[in-house]
Amino acid sequence: MTSAQRKDDHVRLAMEQHRAHSGLNQFDEVSFVHHALAGIDRPDVSLATSFGGIEWQAPLYINAMTGGSAKTGEINRDLATAARESGVAIASGSMNAYLKDPSCAHTFSVLRTHNPDGFVMANINATTSVDNARRAIDLLRADALQIHVNTAQETPMPEGDRSFSSWVGQIEQIAAGVDVPVIVKEVGNGLSRQTVLLLQNLGVRVADLAGRGGTDFARIENGRRELADYAFLHGWGQSTAACLLDAQDVALPVLASGGVRNPLDVARSLALGARAVGVSGGFLRTLMDDGVPALVAQITTWLDQLAALMTMLGARTPADLTRCDVLIHGSLRDFCADRGID
Ligand code: FNR
């Protein structure tokens, strides 16, 4: 199995998962209290957000996905075009494929060539050397670096990593050795409060919680082989809503991603403390099914509807949403009780 084949498999299986996906999403257990006279005027609403030295005009981004094969290079080109047209930030997929085999560089560099002025994040794993982290940043002229942590993805992979203890030290070295902000992200199993607190001491600027509820990588890895021998890992980890509640009042800025389905999930995430909200599988599905104009229309509509929701809720800025009254129900409420969250 080549790395390029693996990247194509990931896209195919993620799309199968998103077409079939239903079931509990804990964002449904977060609701806003409606205050009929809280509304403000739409021109007074700004979607701009800033965190960890980063400034975006909108609190939404296309999160890490792909690169490394001919097909995924085309996907990256199209995602970059959509990011440029809609004005949102974008992350590459893991660039370790490029670091091992520079002949696939163009499948990543399209993210910059098709989006020359946009905010672009390079993505690497937590075993990457500082020199290689710099090479990834340089190729994209990246504005920030994402380091993904994905033990529940590696574990079901026969060729996956089995040595995780070096990751903490490596993250600290990379954060000290590169000159762009470093964001550490999960891939759909969530970062716990304990993990976010640890990251805070490693020189990391931002944590992307990337929780359960959307793309499930243990399921994808199991889907790549006949014997799904790690099926018990499906659904592993904490939901994005649970991660946001778990990380309440932590000083390190957090981003929310994983299972974000619509502008209301974006508003819920911002109300629970996220500085911005990332989407991967859902946006990829729109691109694959309906093309670049449809993805641009989707992102533009989401931003417009987010501003409309903020107008209704009386939030002038994304940070203002944290002052809205929010109710937590069902299993998410049980999670809060178990974790001692007020
Ligand atoms: C991903 N994701 C991912 N993350 C990462 O840090 N590096 C990567 O290379 C990839 N690759 C990748 C491929 C595909 C096809 C998908 C759909 C996703 C994970 C992604 O960034 C995100 O954390 C999860 O997908 C959860 O978000 P969604 O998909 O539920 O919005």
* ipTM, two decimals: 0.99
Residue 30's DSSP bridge partners are 328
Reference 341, options 251, 332, 27; nearest CA is 332
The answer to whether 123 is a known ligand-binding residue is: yes
Compute, in angstroms, the gap from residue 170 CA to the centroid of ligand 1. 21
Series of mean pLDDT values for 10-residue runs along the chain (342 residues): 89 91 86 98 98 98 98 98 98 98 98 98 98 98 98 92 97 98 98 98 98 94 83 96 97 98 98 98 98 98 98 98 98 97 90
CA 169 from chain centre, in angstroms, equals 23
| Neighbouring C-alpha atoms within 13 Å toward the C-beta of 70 | 0
CA torsion, ordered 213, 217, 220, 221, to nearest 10 deg: -150
- How much distance in Å is there from the Cα of 49 to the middle of ligand 1? 23
pLDDT at position 180: 98
The pTM of the whole model exceeds 0.90: yes
* Rounded distance between C-alpha atoms, residue 141 and residue 324, angstroms: 38
Distance between terminal CA atoms of the chain?
48
Backbone angles phi, psi at 124, to 5 degrees: -140, 170
Confirm whether residue 211 is marked as ligand binding.
no
Closest C-alpha residue for ligand 1 atom 17: 281
Our answer on whether the CB atom of 63 is closer than 6 Å to any ligand 1 atom is: yes
* Residue 292 neighbours by CB under 8 Å, 6+ apart: 78, 81, 82, 85
Q: What is the pLDDT of residue 225?
A: 80
Give pLDDT, residue 21: 62
**Measuring CA to CA, how many Å separate 317 from each of 17, 46, 270?**
34, 5, 10
Identify the CA nearest to 286 among candidates 118, 111, 62.
Answer: 62
Output the CA torsion sign for 16, 19, 20, 25.
positive
7 is in an annotated binding site: yes
Mutate to test the pocket of ligand 1, among 5, 7, 60, 65 (most ligand atoms within 8 A of CB): 65
The answer to whether 286 is annotated as binding is no
What pLDDT, on the 0 to 100 scale, is given for residue 24?
81
* pLDDT for 19: 87
Mark 266-281 as b/e (b = at least 16 C-beta within 10 Å). Answer: bbbbbbbbbbbbbbbb
pLDDT at 158: 86
Q: What is the CA radius of gyration of the chain?
A: 19
Q: What is the pLDDT of residue 202?
A: 98
CA–CA distances in Å: residue 104 to residues 67, 126, 272:
8, 21, 39
pLDDT of residue 128: 98
- What pLDDT is recorded for position 224? 86
